[in-house]
Amino acid sequence: MSVSGSESALWRGRSVPSFRETAASNTRGVVPTRDEIAVELAVARARTAVVPALTTYDLRAYYGSTEILHGVNLAFPYRQVTAIIGPSGCGKSTLLRCLNRMHELTPGASVKGRVLLGNQDIYAPDVDPVALRRKIGMVFQRPNPFPTMSIFDNVAAALRWHRVVRRHELADRVEQALRMAALWDEVKDRLHENALGLSGGQQQRLCIARALAIEPEILLMDEPASALDPISTGHIEELIVQLRSRYTVLIVTHNMQQAARISDYTAFMLMGELIEFSPTATLFTNPSDSRTEAYVTGRFG
Amino acid sequence: MKDVSVFTPAGRLLSSGLVSAVYRRRRLMDLLMTGLAGLAVLVAVVPLFSILISVAIRGLSALNLDFFTKMPVPIGETGGGVLNAIVGSGILVGLGTLIGLPIGLLSAIYLAEYGRGRLADTIRLFTEVMSGVPSIVVGIFAYAIVVRPLHHFSALAGGVALGILMIPVVTRTAEEMIRMVPQSLREAGLALGLPRWRVTVSIVLPSAASGIVTGAMLAVARIAGETAPLLFTALNNAFFSTSLLRPIASLPVQIYTYATSPYEELHRIAWGAVFVLVMMVLITNLLTRLAVRSGYEMKR
């Protein structure tokens, strides 16, 4: 924890917002070739020693014929927390849902452009979206534990279905996931009670444990604390900061203080476009776009 | 008590307008409407209880152990039972459920989870139409596809008729119940990297289970009382039979035969059979509900 913390502090001190440049160099809206991507990735690595976990190129999302995202170019750094902020309806959640191919499940919805996980385009025709979603977990706005299952089964379900662990290891893995979600101590004595008996905040941490149990590479969080009270929100925020050492976390939030508290990078979106992407401290204290400044200082939105 | 009259700057009494005729009228209206709603409930419930009570009074007096364990006796002799009809009804309803439940449930899953566009709309329309088809027409259909080719009436034909009757009832209620499962649960499953079918089987169906079971029970109750479609499919049988390929007795048909006969003794047995039929439906209903609930309890 302290290592990555000082690392990002160091990073901010250098004031080389190279990810923004990487993304900005691509705003012409042309989909680059594999080689170009490889070169850019190499450049990004060399500059920052931070690797992008997910990169989007000219990502466009549609509901029917309405374009929701107008070509987003963005590189989400590996094992860092990236916050996505912006007013309601700006496409934050849609962007998130494009990254694990959940967007296309809505009837009439479609996606154009490229999203690279490492160096693999997740929208390539031979990519199995089901396999992809194992690598890119998601936590939703409202806690949605499986109502017919116990606390234990909620976490164990995906492990069983994916057959990732042997039966005798199952309990260990469930405990591990619940500990990681900072829920173990609260539920260890009632693992076999129904999950709906938990409070809203606990249910949300259960959902996080459920997502972590199958060890994804990336965790997408769509306003995970917006339906919770301040104390539960505090728990979730602490948790996210800790998750950074093992996961790449992308979090959509309406709460700018929250973004400032927990994220390393922040992306600001407006009406389906990415306006600015910077290290969080830079975005909030020295934004390069006047619209970002207006938003973070509360002058609109 | 001291009179505290406080006036607003405009000179009105602060407490003015709190007691008004309008409010009294609203309260009266509220009372009236609540009363009317209660009355409607009463009107709806009275026939139900009237039926249950008269069935219980007249039916219970015909019941004894022989009623359940003996075969019908010739006219003129006292005693005897309707064992053949009870067993026959069990077989027919079981067969009908075996045919109707899987088909109905699978159609419901298709319509609720996968069906999009014209095909789904067409299927849904036909399900609606089918649930409105008179049961005797379904009986004729079963006659045409089972009785005619086999050249004789059979329990199988009766089961097919009841199964067909059951399909639309199950489909409609189960589709409704599956649709009521929140989308967020499906998304939760899909986001864990589960394939669509897995989400349906392991998350959606268990969440909808109690509703689906209730719907299935309604369907079972409906076919258990059907008489018309059995008249020219399963026919009737004065003897004990468990063969699927021979005519078989059933409670509704037995009740119909006895009730239309001129003998007082047979009327008495018919009332007994009515009571048994109602109880059979009621008890299956209760047992299944209990089973579903304890299934939840175990996981708690």
For B17-42, write each residue's pLDDT tens digit: 777 888 889 999 999 999 999 999 99
Whether residue A18 is predicted with pLDDT greater than 50 in this model: the reply is no
ipTM of the complex: 0.78
CB contact under 8 A, A150 and B184: no
Q: What percent of chain A has pLDDT over 90?
A: 54
Average pLDDT over residues B43-60: 92
Q: What percent of chain A has pLDDT over 70?
A: 84
Which of A102, A157, A194 is nearest residue B191 as measured by Cβ atoms? A102
Rounded Cα gap, residues A210 and B45, in angstroms: 48
The predicted pLDDT at position B4 comes to 74
Whether residue A22 is predicted with pLDDT greater than 50 in this model: the reply is no
Whether residue A301 is predicted with pLDDT greater than 60 in this model: the reply is no
The predicted pLDDT at position A222 comes to 93
Q: What is the pLDDT of residues B144-153, one digit of tens each?
A: 999 999 999 9
Rounded Cα gap, residues A243 and A250, in angstroms: 11
Measure in Å the smallest separation between the Cα of B173 and chain A Cα atoms: 20
CATH of domain A47-297: 3.40.50.300
**Is-contact A145 A198, C-beta < 8 A?**
yes
Rounded Cα gap, residues B222 and B277, in angstroms: 11
Average pLDDT over residues B199-207: 93
> In chain B, count of helices (H) and strands (E)?
13, 0
The predicted pLDDT at position A11 comes to 40
CB contact under 8 A, B187 and A150: no
Q: Which residues of B, range 205-264, sit inside 8 Å of A by Cβ?
A: 206-207, 209
The predicted pLDDT at position B5 comes to 79
CB contact under 8 A, B194 and A105: no
**Contacts A222 to B, Cβ<8 Å:** none
A180 in contact with B at a CB cutoff of 8 Å?
no
Q: Describe the strand order of the beta sheet including A81-85 as a list of residue ranges.
A: A136-139, A218-222, A248-252, A81-85, A265-270, A273-279
Whether residue B299 is predicted with pLDDT greater than 50 in this model: the reply is no
Q: Which of A34-43, A48-57, B51-60, B79-88 shows the highest mean pLDDT? A: B51-60
Between these two residues, A237 and A2, which has the higher pLDDT value? A237
**Contacts A153 to B, Cβ<8 Å:** 299
**Is-contact A211 A240, C-beta < 8 A?**
no
Residue with tokens 């209620």: B173
The predicted pLDDT at position B73 comes to 81
Closest CA to A183 of A161, A163, A213: A213
Whether residue A2 is predicted with pLDDT greater than 70 in this model: the reply is no
**Is-contact A59 A71, C-beta < 8 A?**
yes
- Coil, strand or helix at A81: strand
Rounded Cα gap, residues B242 and B228, in angstroms: 21
- The domains of chain A are located at 47-297
The predicted pLDDT at position A12 comes to 39
Rounded Cα gap, residues A154 and A147, in angstroms: 9
Q: What's the sign of the alpha-carbon dihedral A257, A262, A264, A268?
A: negative
pLDDT band, residue A5 (cuts 50/70/90): very low
**Is-contact A150 B197, C-beta < 8 A?**
no
Closest CA to A23 of A285, A294, A290, A265: A265
Whether residue A84 is predicted with pLDDT greater than 90 in this model: the reply is yes
In three-state form (DSSP H/G/I as H, E/B as E, the rest C), the secondary structure along A267-297 is EEEECCEEEEEEEHHHHHHCCCCHHHHHHHC
Whether residue B159 is predicted with pLDDT greater than 70 in this model: the reply is yes
The predicted pLDDT at position A1 comes to 35
Q: What is the DSSP string of A92-122?
A: HHHHHHHHTT-GGGSTTEEEEEEEEETTEET
Domain B65-299 fold is: MetI-like fold (1.10.3720)
Q: What is the pLDDT of residues A103-135, one digit of tens each?
A: 998 888 999 999 999 888 999 999 999 999 999
Which of A105, A148, A210 is nearest residue B192 as measured by Cβ atoms? A210
Copy the structure tokens of residue A298.
Answer: 């509360």
CB contact under 8 A, A150 and B300: yes
Which contiguous run of DSSP H or E holds residue A62? strand A52-63
Average pLDDT over residues A11-25: 43
The predicted pLDDT at position B300 comes to 37
Minimum mean pLDDT range among A26-30, B84-88, B223-227, B250-254:
A26-30
Whether residue A47 is predicted with pLDDT greater than 60 in this model: the reply is no
Whether residue B46 is predicted with pLDDT greater than 60 in this model: the reply is yes
Which of A105, A135, A148 is nearest residue B206 as measured by Cβ atoms? A148
Which of B193, B195, B203 is nearest residue A214 as measured by Cβ atoms? B193
**Contacts B297 to A, Cβ<8 Å:** none
Measure in Å the smallest separation between the Cα of A246 and chain B Cα atoms: 18
